[in-house]
Structure 1
């Protein structure tokens, strides 16, 4: 997974937590992970997988959608 995608996932997850009014600690406890690991995923010190991003966003009542599209340099 690219660094850009990792950063985008972290940004989206943090925004979802904020809108839902959930703290990192509350989310971590509900998901059964340590607050340290949650913090590390949200700050980039640990990888944020798509699966974890999905679990966290679903916890906030949102759905993670990922789209892919080719830019101007699309392969032939």
Structure 2
């Protein structure tokens, strides 16, 4: 999964959280006040999943979103 771009990794983690929490996309959409179609698009990459939306979805799963940074590792000489 580390090969994926950050936005794709976030989508994977959010979808997994929904599965683990056994919360349907329809229920999340209802509670967050967004259409099920738009939520589906955010979770599949057809619409942008912002950190704010991800935080809201994860909150419904009993989780919180934490962001960290780390310095790039120096590239080894070939």
With the shorter chain as reference, the TM-score category is 0.7 to 0.9
Runs of 4+ in 1 over 2 A off after TM superposition: none
**Structure 1 unpaired stretches of 5+:** none
Q: Which has the higher helix share?
A: 1
Q: 2:38 — aligned with what? A: 37
CA RMSD in angstroms, aligned pairs only: 1.6
Q: How does 1:11-50 map to 2 (within 5 A)?
A: 11-50=12-51
Give the TM-score normalised by structure 1. Answer: 0.87
1:7 is displaced (CA, Å) by: 0.4
2:67 counterpart residue number: 66
TM norm structure 2:
0.85
How much does 1:11 deviate?
0.7
Structure scoring higher RCO (CA < 8 A, sep ≥ 6) equals 1
How many residues were matched structurally?
72
Select the structure of larger CA radius of gyration: 2
- Extract unaligned runs of 5+ from structure 2: none
